[in-house]
A and B are shown apart, each in its own frame.
Chain A
Amino acid sequence: MTDQSAPKPVTAYKEGFTLEDQRHFKNNRDLAEWLGGGNASVWVNNRPSEAFPSTATVPNRLPPAELPKAINPEIGKITVETNSLGTLTLDEFMAHPAGRAQAFMVIHKGQIAYENFAAMHPADFHVWMSTAKVIPGLLIDLLISEGKIDDEKTVGHYLEVYRGSAWEDIKVIDVMDMCTGLDIQEMQDGISYKPGSVVQRMLSAEFGLPYKGEVEDFDAVLRDAKKVLEPGVQFDYSSVATQVLVMICEAITGEPWAETVDKRVWSKVGFESALLVHTTPTGLAVGHGMLSTRLSDMGRFGMLYTPSWSKVANEQVVTDEILKRIQQGTRSHDFYMKGYGPETAAHLADETMISNARQWDAVWPDGDLFKSGFQQQSLYVSPSRDLVIVNFSVNGGDDTIKHYLRPIATSGLF
């Protein structure tokens, strides 16, 4: 028997998983292992519908919109200072076993300018982790544009289940911008997903995994959130906030969240494959992170925020108004840096962003947008440069790959 806990390079799984691998991972379900960045993380990220108890499938209804290739070799030569491997080009980093990068793609004006599937098959699904959050954010924005949501109204106004809890008087806009003032932060006392925290208990409930021996009720976990600050004071990153957006969306539409994504987004775009919406055991979409697609489809999604949207979609999903709401929706750099901002800035090795906004982790003065995923997935969009950068990794700790994003965007190549 292979020792499944001995860390293997991510390239070991490029062609998939052996029978023994699959049996081992399927029968050893452990949240810490899944999130830890080791072998089990590769499996969860590339085989999410096997790991999670429940998955809703949003089909690709339109014929796939092909992305022509216009490869620019200069992109792979862009160098950054890595955390521990010295100065490396993007190509070198992608090939480095310590990077644990699986795939990277740059799309400029609707054409693939760089692609590197170092450690996964282009046809494989991969979990977005928190890069997913921009989709719940987009649906709220679409419903605002339709006049169905007012983001100055409160959580309690839209969700009866949270009346009488600390959520009741929090405005939707403060949920969108992750400044609820509740103790739902992802990072507490320097620890991500601290055992016993609301966010860690929520994740366990979502995966049907026990907390203190019992699978908890999702709503009950969220109702346990306590107020620690006034809302709106600082950026306190939290997946719990995004989940509340998913629930508000369902309350407004009366339909499963996955169906709303289908009707309002996925059915209008020529994606190559389906969007997998992994759900809690009771069927609530885990929109804060547990969405999976091919990498190229994440790229096509990013294109919806660029002038090249028409090359993949049959109507403009992200309207100019919605894009402006994000780009002009930043609060202040001070608001950002008082909270979780320094973490994101460190991930990017860049502090020139203004702040977060509407589920995006960073918005720059030039209008560029960035969303990070827990295992170093990235979605970076530059509407002004008509540029999308996406990548999948399973790194639990080293965030070096994100160091490349802003330098690529500002390289002068685009």
Chain B
Amino acid sequence: MPNNDPMSVPGAKVTLPVSKVREGFDQEFIAAARKNFSNTHMQLGGDHALYYTTNFTEFVPAAMANPHGPVSELTRRPDPSLGALTYTLGDGTESAPLDAHLVDFNSRVQGMMILHKGDVVFEAFPGMRPEQVHIWASVAKSMVGTLLTMLELEGKLDTSKPITDYAPALRGSEWDTVPLIHAINMASGLDITEDAKNTMDPRSVFQRMLAADFGIPNADGVQEDENEVLRGAVRLPGEEPGKFARYSSVITKVLCEVVETVTQKTYTAVAEERIWSKIGARAPLVMSLSPAGLAIGYGAQHSTLEDLARYALIFTPSWQKVAAEPIVSPDVLRKMQTASSKEAYLAGDFTDHSWVKMCFGKDMPIFNSHQWDAVWEDGALFKHGNLYQGIYSDPARDVVGVFFSTSPVNLAPDLNPGYLRAAAKVLAGG
């Protein structure tokens, strides 16, 4: 009998400090990581994942959204007091100081930056070199939501229409019953949610989609066609679209196709044209591609941390620090901040995530919206990523925070998001 325990695969467990990424890996380690590459192995967040999260283009082909023009230099104005920052966790206890958290072996944080009024006030790179690119994981979804909202307000798509109006490959499937707006807000009513059960089940639509997109065989040894996997999605019993927000990368995959159908350009070309060419980025935004050539815009998107911070600034009043023209209009921002459902948010599974409970149990978001996981009453936006990545953009306080990690989801809850919002409050005086 083959041993099917994923944790028994070499490189699945966490034994190395994240600082190993700064030093580099030897050929033997890399060969073993290559040999064992799979979506499930990566998701475990162990030693091999440290290689995958910073070298993903070695495993899956990628398109490049290139920066144009000069680099936008960010001013450094370090605020030493942030190292001592703590906040009240969802269980009522006080967090460790930020500096102590960052050096904790189990936090697995590789890089964190906080910017106030467009200037860098805090940065730490315990587990990567600042110039390295790192996977955004689901932080990437914030860009899908932003691009769709731009297209909507330009009148290029109608979010009340079925999503299959803009995703022809899925016509004739259950997706026909899903209005685009409910897909954008993650309330599809389909059995594609990324809950603990589906995440651990290699035969879930979610895991089969990952395998198909990474170009590797599924749990039954079959390399599946990505659209066939999506077409197999079924309705959750008794769930109408729009009633329950249930987190799903499968939805975002379809939304990337919507962007392409509407623009008749590749998702990467749209990202370059509308965002990445305009923010003075230092390095390309790397978009991994599925075998069919669709950008894996729900998660396999990569950049340096500083370039992610530049992107985070476009939602704040400090956009001028990186761009010559506004990229996210006030209307697009307002739409993302307001056009969602608190009822669906509370009825669904977003609040089950351990990072929501631990970081924001005492400061709950009002809902998810437009691919952002969390929006607060004050207009702040947050998106979390698998293996613990994050983007926090707080237009009212003019603060952004970003972080990259490679952490197993079961090692410890992700406490990073809470530090970012706590820092925003301290920096903005409340």
Contacts and interface: CB of A to CB of B under 8 A. Distances in A.
B184 to A, nearest CB: 21
Given A27-B293, A125-B64, A279 B27 contact: no
Interface in B19-58: 24, 26-27, 30-31, 34, 55, 57-58
B132 interface: yes
Contacts of B277: 123
Contacts of B332: none
A18 interface: yes
A240 to B, nearest CB: 22
B288 to A, nearest CB: 10
Interface in A11-25: 16-20, 22-23
Interface stretch (A53-61, A79-87, A331-339): A53-61
Interface stretch (B65-73, B119-127, B392-400): B65-73
Nearest to A62: B131
A59 B306 CA distance: 13
A26 B133 contact: no
A263 B30 CA distance: 18
Interface string A156-181: 00000000000000000000000000
B139 interface: no
A320 interface: no
B27 A50 contact: no
Contacts of A60: 131, 282-283
Contact of A255 (B26, B57, B283): B26
Interface string A37-55: 0000000000101111111
Interface in A252-308: 254-256, 259, 273-274, 279, 282-283
A54 B57 contact: yes
Contacts of B132: 59
A124 B68 CA distance: 9
Interface string A111-128: 000000000010111000
Interface in B280-300: 282-284, 286, 289, 292-293
Interface in B258-295: 260, 263-266, 269, 277, 282-284, 286, 289, 292-293
Contacts of B24: 255, 259
A18 B64 CA distance: 15
B300 to A, nearest CB: 13
Contact of B283 (A16, A59, A63): A59
B271 to A, nearest CB: 12
Nearest to B264: A19
Contact of A282 (B34, B67, B289): B34
A250 interface: yes
Contact of B292 (A17, A27, A47, A259): A27
Contact of A55 (B31, B57, B71, B263): B57
Nearest to B302: A57
A124 B66 contact: yes
Nearest to A281: B34
Interface of A is mostly: loop
A123 B61 contact: no
A123 B282 CA distance: 12
Interface in B362-397: none
A196 B132 CA distance: 40
Contacts of B283: 59-60, 273-274
A61 B61 contact: no
Contact of B265 (A18, A64, A256): A18
A53 B286 contact: no
Given A19-B260, A27-B293, A51 B61 contact: yes
B57 A50 contact: no
A273 B292 CA distance: 27
A50 B66 contact: no
Given A55-B62, A56-B58, A255-B24, A19 B266 contact: yes
B255 interface: no
Given A27-B293, A55-B57, A55-B61, A283 B284 contact: no
A23 to B, nearest CB: 5
B289 A26 contact: yes
A56 B55 contact: yes
Contacts of B292: 23, 26-27
A102 to B, nearest CB: 15
A267 to B, nearest CB: 8
B62 A59 contact: no
A53 B30 contact: no
A19 B257 CA distance: 11
B227 to A, nearest CB: 13
Given A16-B269, A26-B293, A274-B284, A250 B27 contact: yes
Interface in B62-96: 62-64, 66-68, 70-71
A253 to B, nearest CB: 9
Nearest to B54: A57
Contacts of A273: 66-67, 283-284
A349 to B, nearest CB: 34
B34 A283 contact: yes
B133 A283 contact: no
Given A18-B264, A250-B27, 14 more contacts: A19-B264, A22-B266, A22-B293, A27-B293, A50-B289, A54-B59, A55-B62, A56-B58, A59-B132, A59-B133, A59-B304, A61-B129, A274-B284, A283-B58
A-B pairs, top 8 by smallest CB distance, nearest first, are A26-B293, A123-B66, A59-B131, A55-B57, A61-B131, A49-B62, A54-B58, A123-B68
Interface of B: 24, 26-27, 30-31, 34, 55, 57-59, 61-64, 66-68, 70-71, 129, 131-133, 260, 263-266, 269, 277, 282-284, 286, 289, 292-293, 304
